[in-house]
Structure 1
């Protein structure tokens, strides 16, 4: 019995160390990629410089459009993308799309969405007073729910992302009356711009000028740094 207990303990310790190394690897990759691609910011912003942005109001998801409304909204978004010569990098619609789209803008790959979600949830936890007033439920329950993979991001998590990454987040939307929404950091100047398309309350994608659209690549391996 004692040998079995020792084996389980050693296995648990090994798993914990492996998980910690994975987290550290993700953080290193994220930092390197963020520096590598920061110089690409701004191209989409120049393309849409004639649009007047609508101020952002953080809110949680409360309305999901029916099929007909969603279809009309999607057509409206596609028309706007065509008018402005923009290209969507489509990310998986698995409930993580906001975080995948942000990951693609930050690191040129949607595969770091787990890291992005962790950073946003940490921002929500560490700076509760900035966001609690926008959340009509127990705040601890909200950020614990948002920490789960597959939980849809909302306009509160977008504000937390803008604050965490010192980024101006710009949404080209499918809203009838609101084409362009801008989310800016609350207490610092933005150091970069992140551009997303927003099929309202349904899906986010990452946004580029057509000539700057990235060539699809396989996800980078973690040993890529070494």
Structure 2
């Protein structure tokens, strides 16, 4: 019975998550779930391919290094240790790396989540440089994907 209830809860959460995507005319572009998914999804939104995730990670980490006063207080460990961790391929991105990406590229990041009560997270850049919005989806502490308007065909490098 407990397994059934857990599965039913997960189904209802997924249904709400998919509904949010549909209601906003969005579809997910699945990216590889290898610990780099946040950076892959950001790369897909910025460059049209998830394959430049290492470049995005490097730029985001450089943003974090260049402006510790903006991010240090939001990290739950020694800041230098955090920077070392985030520099490594496979380290999961978090809310701090999303803020650093928004600041670096000067764009709003909109995250559609599977959280029941917080379906949308809006991350605003410190200084806006563009009207572009980076759209991501986030499945409850596990995985990020890139999100695009339905019906728009984007070229993805193979």
Structure 2 SS opposite 1:195: strand
Structure 2 SS opposite 1:212: coil
Partner of 2:3: none
C-alpha distance in 2 between matches for 1:166 and 1:115: 17
Distance apart, 1:217 and its partner CA: 4.3
Please state if 1:104 is matched with 2:47. no
Contact 1:169–1:194 under 8 Å retained in 2: yes
Contact 2:71–2:96 under 8 Å retained in 1: yes
Please state if 1:150 is matched with 2:73. no
Distance apart, 1:125 and its partner CA: 0.8
Partner of 1:189: 128
C-alpha distance in 2 between matches for 1:139 and 1:71: 38
Mean alpha-carbon deviation: is it higher for 162-171 or for 79-88?
79-88
C-alpha distance in 2 between matches for 1:168 and 1:190: 10
Distance apart, 1:72 and its partner CA: 4.5
The alignment's TM-score, normalised by the length of structure 1, stands at: 0.63
Q: 2:143 aligns with which of 191, 203, 208?
A: 203
User: What is the RMSD of the two structures over their aligned residues, measured on CA atoms?
Assistant: 1.7
Partner of 1:165: 105
Distance apart, 1:82 and its partner CA: 2.3
C-alpha distance in 2 between matches for 1:70 and 1:146: 30
Q: Which runs of 4+ in 1 moved over 6 A?
A: none
Q: For the structure 1 residues 100 and 71, does the alpha-carbon distance in structure 2 shift closer, same or farther, using more than 3 Å as the test?
A: farther
Q: Which runs of 5+ in 2 are unaligned?
A: 1-5
The alignment's TM-score, normalised by the length of structure 2, stands at: 0.88
Contact 2:49–2:156 under 8 Å retained in 1: no
Q: Which runs of 5+ in 1 are unaligned?
A: 1-66, 219-226
Structure 2 SS opposite 1:211: coil
Q: For the structure 1 residues 112 and 174, does the alpha-carbon distance in structure 2 shift closer, same or farther, using more than 3 Å as the test?
A: same
- Within-5 A mapping of 1:28-67: none
